[in-house]
Amino acid sequence: MPRIRTLSAAVTALVLGFGVAAPAAAAAGPRRNEPTATGLDAKVRAAATGLVADGAPGVLIMTRRDGRVAHTAAGVSDTATGRPMDHRLLFRAASVTKSFTSTVVLQLAAEHRLSLDDTVERWLPGLVRGNGNDGSKITIRRLLAQTSGLNDYTPDPRVMTDPRRMWEPSELVGIAVEKAPLYAPGTGWNYSNTNYVLAGMIIERASGRTAGAEFARRIFRPLGLRHTSYPAQTDFTASSAFPGPYVHGYYGGFGDVSTAISTSSARTSGGIISTVDDLARFHRALFTGRLLPARQMRELTTVRPVNDDGVVEDYGLGVARIAFSCGRAWGHDGGFPGYRTWTYTSADGRRQAVITYNTSTLEYDERFRADLAKAADTAFCS
């Protein structure tokens, strides 16, 4: 199972402003008048209801087998109203955004608007300096591969001290470079959201457009991702609201935190809102070569084995390769306070699974993690 990835400073933020009671346990099982599932659907339903029984308010699982797409929902999307989970509802895709960001950078490289061997200093002069950090030694490829050595800004308590604050990308990078790098660029690996904030800034410099405009022009509209968006980062309302009906996200005793935190603290490392079907459509197009030329596909999928929190997988440029009982899948996972999502797509696009649930309180629960791993294998392999 891929690593747990959340904004670890979120507890600091939420303690300051939220005291809502923890969500009540949601009822699991089929809804009234829902036909009894058989075969793969029955196995996936059992897995989803098991995760709800473990404590998740609600779970959505999308599966694909060639042309057959199925959706399984268990539990609720809103504990206040009891509204059931529904695959049409929006949620925060969080770090799945990194695959979008990497794709746009690689498209710009294919158009010779930039090179993966360009340095951060070339595009963002003076931004990554001090305390041993040196943007002239960090290439764009190293940003996307998570081998820059830069610290992650998200654990810093300032990031979430005021969850509604609008953060500029340069401010987030500034927090990261206050610390010495973890290693010389290219000599190690660490998961750092700082890398993808910098990548987003380079997209904007190279394209002359906002990152959101490039996501829409290059990916959202061409693929018909009608329910996928990148929030405008102009004010708190625009960057924390959902553009339509959404899954409510819960953070333990802090309750519903769905719109409590400005996504300006995530940006091109984790700001996209989407649905299970849109994420699956994007990854199917990406991994079957519809979005990138062959050279850039080789760059995307050139991986190295990594160990993050004791979990071993292969990481490429904003994508990961995960081993299952039936073979390998490509994808990325994401976590934002109240939301967790896992995406898996076979290289030929014929087999897919997307799993999302609406809580951040089960990340290190051993039983839940074991059941989640089984659910992922069931959804992708059965």
Question: What pLDDT sits at residue 312?
Answer: 74
Question: What pLDDT sits at residue 26?
Answer: 39
Low-confidence ranges of the chain (pLDDT < 70): 1-38, 233-238, 310-311
Question: What pLDDT sits at residue 254?
Answer: 84
Question: What pLDDT sits at residue 307?
Answer: 83
The beta-carbon contacts of 7-10 under 8 Å, at least 24 apart in sequence, are 7/154, 7/159, 7/160, 7/261, 7/265, 7/266, 7/335, 7/336, 7/337, 8/154, 8/155, 9/154, 9/155, 9/156, 9/157, 9/159, 9/160, 10/160, 10/163, 10/251, 10/257, 10/261, 10/337, 10/360
339-345 and 320-324 strand pairing:
unpaired
Kindly report, residue by residue over 57-73, the tens digit of the pLDDT: 999 999 999 999 999 99
Question: What pLDDT sits at residue 253?
Answer: 83
Question: What pLDDT sits at residue 160?
Answer: 79
CA-based radius of gyration for the chain: 20
What is the distance between the alpha carbons of residues 129 and 136, in angstroms, rounded to a whole number? 9
What is the distance between the alpha carbons of residues 374 and 380, in angstroms, rounded to a whole number? 10
- Cα 120 off chain centre by: 23
Strand partners, 260: none
- Show the CA angle centred on residue 116, arms to residues 112 and 120, nearest 5°: 110
327-331 and 333-336 strand pairing:
unpaired
Question: What pLDDT sits at residue 28?
Answer: 41
311-315 and 320-324 strand pairing:
antiparallel
Question: What pLDDT sits at residue 83?
Answer: 98
Question: What pLDDT sits at residue 35?
Answer: 44
Residue of 269, 290, 275 lying closest to 226 (CA atoms):
275
Kindly report, residue by residue over 185-213, the tens digit of the pLDDT: 999 999 999 999 999 999 999 999 999 99
Helix, strand, or coil (residue 91): strand
Question: What pLDDT sits at residue 237?
Answer: 60
CB-based contacts of 32, cutoff 8 Å, min separation 6:
none
Question: What pLDDT sits at residue 280?
Answer: 98
Instruction: Please state whether the predicted TM-score (pTM) of the whole model is above 0.75.
Output: yes
Look at the block and give the residue holding tokens 């009540």: 24
- CA distance to 194, 205, 214, per residue, from 124 (Å): 14, 8, 19
Question: What pLDDT sits at residue 308?
Answer: 72
Helix, strand, or coil (residue 355): strand
- CA distance to 66, 123, 295, per residue, from 324 (Å): 18, 39, 27
What is the distance between the alpha carbons of residues 62 and 223, in angstroms, rounded to a whole number? 18
